[in-house]
């Protein structure tokens, strides 16, 4: 049985969940005869009495958050690596100089200039080259409308002709 797994990159995912409330019945055999039934609210540490048959109910027990380990799918792992590569500047991580992109160099240039868009595509391909086997990248200007007009560049990453990731700068 596998309790958890570590990805080839050393990632381990912990999923947070609330521990469910439980209903617990304890039975004890003693020397004395009789039946003893008690209900306890918020105090599961009740003194033990000598009874032939004892049933205890504890309600509103405190519960807390706990963690469980789960496996990461290969697709989710690759998407996470792409996001990290695009949001990290090349050389930003001292121990992993090869991780990251050079998108910051083109971020504030003219988004309508086709040469700048090709440069952005080149930077993205450079950043994700070790993650995907045959990536295709398309960068195109995205213009907002209304009072909060803004200009961004939409980056669309395809693997074997299928859009797998969108990113905006």
pLDDT digits (tens, 9 = 90+) for 135-164: 999 999 887 666 666 678 889 999 989 999
- The string of DSSP codes covering 93-146 is STT-TTSSB-GGGTTTS-TT-HHHHHHHHHHHHHHHTTT-SSEEEEEEEEE--S
For residue 112, name the pLDDT band (cuts at 50, 70, 90): confident
Question: Residue 157: exposed, middle, or buried by beta-carbon count in 10 A (0-12, 13-18, 19+)?
Answer: buried
- Residue whose structure tokens are 């599961």: 44
Q: Which helix (H) or strand (E) holds 167?
A: strand 162-168
Q: Which helix (H) or strand (E) holds 43?
A: none
Mean pLDDT of 124-132: 91
Mean of the per-residue pLDDT values of the chain: 76
81 three-class SS:
helix
Q: Which helix (H) or strand (E) holds 82?
A: helix 74-87
Which percentage of the chain shows pLDDT scores above 70? 53
The CATH code that applies to domain 73-168 is 3.10.450
Q: Where in the chain do CATH 3.10.450 domains reside?
A: 73-168
Count of beta carbons in the 10 Å neighbourhood of residue 39: 9
What CA–CA distance (Å, rounded) separates 27 from 15?
35
């Amino acid at each position: 049985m596998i309790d958890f797994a570590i990805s080839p990159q050393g990632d381990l995912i912990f999923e947070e969940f609330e521990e469910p409330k439980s209903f617990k019945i304890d039975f004890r055999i003693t020397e004395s005869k009789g039946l003893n039934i008690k209900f306890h609210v918020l105090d599961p540490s009740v003194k033990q009495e000598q009874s032939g048959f004892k049933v205890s109910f504890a309600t509103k027990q405190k519960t807390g958050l706990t963690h469980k380990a789960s496996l990461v799918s290969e697709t989710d792992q690759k998407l996470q690596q792409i996001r990290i590569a695009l949001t990290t500047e090349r050389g930003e991580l001292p121990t992993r100089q090869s991780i990251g992109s050079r998108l910051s160099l083109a971020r504030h240039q003219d988004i309508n200039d086709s040469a700048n868009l090709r440069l952005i595509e080149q930077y993205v391909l450079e950043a994700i080259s070790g993650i995907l086997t045959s990536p295709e990248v398309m960068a195109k200007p995205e213009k907002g409308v209304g009072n909060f007009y803004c200009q961004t560049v939409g980056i669309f990453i395809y693997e074997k002709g299928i859009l797998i990731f969108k990113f905006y700068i």
